[in-house]
Amino acid sequence: GWLCLGGLAQALALAWPWGGQSLPALQIIGMATLAAHLSHCQKAKTAFWHSWWFATMWLVGTFWWLFISLHTYGGMHALLAALAVVLLAAALALYYASAGWATVKIVGSERSSTAASIFVFASAWTLAEIARAVLFTGFPWGAVGYAHVDGVLSSLAPCLGAYDKGWVAAATALAIAHAIRQDHHSSKYQGKPASLMWVGLALASLLVLQLPGYKHNFS
């Protein structure tokens, strides 16, 4: 359920629902749901399927408009057009499923350092994005870096492209997930819902970065 919502949130973070205004904070929050699942995975196979489900929902929500092209303008039956969109999303999601598998296979979940996990996940995700864009003629629609044309990461646009910003976004999402997981295992707060404190802090910080004009402070 959370993976489904996270994938759809990442899709909504792109420009189309908001009159051209992307929501970078929502993209980080959506990806953080996947990162949280991966940070608890003990088996690479489980990470594969978690990542596949998340990416399938994200991609369906990202290029749903293909249904209109196939059905309204192409004359394909509505059920077949919808099935074609879902199957395409499911096939392309295999790139990201492989990224999730590689993350857990290479660094594991509990036994690895936070820095190693963040680097491997962000790099594997970025390689999956590039593979989707170039293999089999390429299907580059909706790369997560495009959710950051506004917000704080847009200040890095002169030196970072869409895939570089996607790397930073993936690294940030996993960093948040690791912070919540580590706090959950800590006894510092003695029974208080400390993980909720981390969630609240992360959400507040991301929403601040979303505020209009905030990015100009970094320009």
Alpha carbon separation from 44 to 50, 51, 65, 159, 213 (Å, rounded): 10, 10, 33, 34, 41
| Mean pLDDT value of segment 126-154 | 82
Task: Name the least confident of 92-96, 121-125, 206-210.
Answer: 206-210
Alpha carbon separation from 5 to 53, 95, 104, 115, 200 (Å, rounded): 11, 20, 22, 27, 18
Query: What pLDDT, in 10s, does the model give residues 70-117?
Result: 888 888 888 998 999 999 999 999 999 999 999 988 887 555 567 888
DSSP string covering 195-218:
HHHHHHHHHHHHHHHHSTTGGGGG
Alpha carbon separation from 145 to 43, 58, 111 (Å, rounded): 28, 14, 30
